[in-house]
A and B are shown apart, each in its own frame.
Chain A
Amino acid sequence: MNLLILRLLAGRVALALFSLLVVSAIVFAITAVLPGDAAEAQLGQEATPESLAALRHQMGLDVPAPLRYWQWLRGLVVGEPGISIVSGAPVADMIASRLPNSLLLAGITAAISVPVALVLGIASAMWRRSWFDRIVSSGAVAVVSVPEFLVATLAVLIFAVQLRWLPALSSAGSIDSVGQMLRVFAMPVLTLCCVTVAQMLRMTRAAVVDQLKAPYIEMVQLKGASPTRMVLAHALPNAIGPIANAVALSLSYLLGGVIIVETIFNYPGIASLMVDGVSQRDMPLVQTCAMLFCAVYLMLVTLADLCSIVANPRLRHR
Chain B
Amino acid sequence: MNKHSKLNNLVGPRESVELLEALQRGATRRDLLAMLAGGGMQLGLAAGIAGTALSAHAQTPRRGGRIRVAAATAAISDTLDPAKMANQTDYSRGTMLYNGLTALDGSLTPQPALAESFTTKDAKTWVFKLRKGVVFHDGKPLQPADVVFSIARHKDAATASKAKALADQIDSVKASGPGEVTITLQQPNADLPVILGTFNFLIVKDGTTDFSAGIGTGPFKLKEFKPGVRSIVVRNPDYWKPGQPYLDEIEFVGISDEGARVNALLSGDMDLVAAVNPRAVERVRGTPGYAIFATQSGQYSDLIMRKDVGPGANPDFVLAMKCLFDREQMRKAIALGHAVVANDQPIDPSNRFYFAGCPKRAYDPERARFHLKKANVGSARIPVVTSPVAMYSVEMALVLQQAGQRVGLNLEVKRMPADGYWSNHWLNSPVGFGNVNPRPSVDTLFTQFFKSDAAWNGSRWKNPKFDQLLLAARAETDLAKRTQMYADMQVLIHDEAGVGIPLFLASIDGHTTKLKGLRPIPLGGLMGYSFAENVWLDA
Task: Give the interface of A toward B (CB within 8 A).
Answer: 35-36, 40-48, 50-51, 53-55, 58, 84, 86-87, 89, 94, 97, 153, 156-157, 160-161, 164, 167-169, 171, 173, 263-266, 268, 272-273, 276-277, 279-280, 282, 285
Main secondary structure of the interface of B (DSSP, over half): loop
C-alpha gap A40/B84 in the complex (Å):
13
Contact status A86-B253, CB under 8 Å: no
Binding site for A on B (CB under 8 A): 75-79, 84, 86, 157-162, 164-165, 226-230, 253, 255-257, 259-260, 263-264, 266-270, 419-420, 422-424, 426, 455-456
Asked if A45 and B456 sit within 8 Å, CB to CB, the answer is: yes
Cβ-defined contact, A266 with B77, below 8 A: no
Q: Check if B76 sits within 8 Å of A266, measured CB to CB.
A: no
User: Contact between A266 and B264 (Cβ–Cβ < 8 Å)?
Assistant: yes
Given A44-B86, A173-B230, answer yes or no on A280-B420 (Cβ-Cβ < 8 Å). Answer: no
Q: By the criterion CB–CB under 8 Å, are A171 and B253 in contact?
A: yes
The residue in chain A whose Cβ has the minimal distance to the Cβ of B163 is A46
Q: Is the CB of B76 within 8 A of A47?
A: no
**B157 touching A54, Cβ below 8 Å:** yes
B86 in contact with A264 (CB, 8 Å): no
Q: Distance in Å from the Cβ of A295 to the closest Cβ of chain B?
A: 21
A-B residue pair count with CB separations less than 8 angstroms: 117
Give A305 Cβ to nearest chain B Cβ, in Å: 36
9 closest pairs, A vs B, by CB?
A160-B267, A168-B267, A55-B160, A54-B157, A40-B423, A168-B263, A168-B264, A36-B423, A36-B420
Q: A169 with B164: in contact, given A35-B420, A54-B158 (CB under 8 Å)?
A: no
Q: A44-B86, A171-B253, A173-B229 are in contact. Are A157 and B76 (CB under 8 A)?
A: no
In the complex, chain B residues whose CB is within 8 Å of the CB of A277: 76
Is B260 a contact partner of A264 (Cβ separation < 8 A)?
Answer: yes
Q: Is the CB of B76 within 8 A of A273?
A: yes
Taking a contact as CB atoms closer than 8 A, the residue among B78, B257, B263, B426 that contacts A161 in the complex is: B263
Which residue of the partner chain, among A35, A40, A156, A173, contacts B263 with CB atoms under 8 Å?
A156
Contacts of B267 in A (CB 8 A): 156, 160-161, 164, 167-168
In the assembled complex, which residues on chain A have CB atoms less than 8 Å from the CB atom of B161? 51
If A36-B423, A167-B267 touch, does A282 touch B76 (CB 8 Å cutoff)? yes
Contacts of A263 in B (CB 8 A): 256-257, 260
Q: Which residues of B contact A42 (CB under 8 A)?
A: 77, 84, 86
The answer to whether B269 and A168 have CB atoms under 8 Å apart is yes
B227 touches A51 (CB 8 A): no
- With contact pairs A156-B267, A168-B267, A264-B260 given, residues A97 and B164 touching in the complex (Cβ less than 8 Å): no
> Once the chains are docked, how many angstroms separate the CA of A263 from the CA of B255?
8
Enumerate chain B residues within 8 angstroms of A45, measured Cβ to Cβ.
422, 426, 456
- The residue of chain B having its C-beta at the shortest distance from the C-beta of A160 within the complex is B267
Least CB distance from B77 to A in Å reads 5
A268 touches B229 (CB 8 A): yes
Distance (whole angstroms) from the CB of A156 to the closest CB of chain B: 5
Complex contacts, A97 vs chain B, CB 8 Å: 226, 229
Give the CA-CA distance A209 to B66 in the complex, in Å. Answer: 58
Q: Which of A55, A84, A164 contacts B76 (CB 8 A)?
A: A84
In the complex, the answer to whether A86 meets B76 with C-beta atoms within 8 Å is: yes
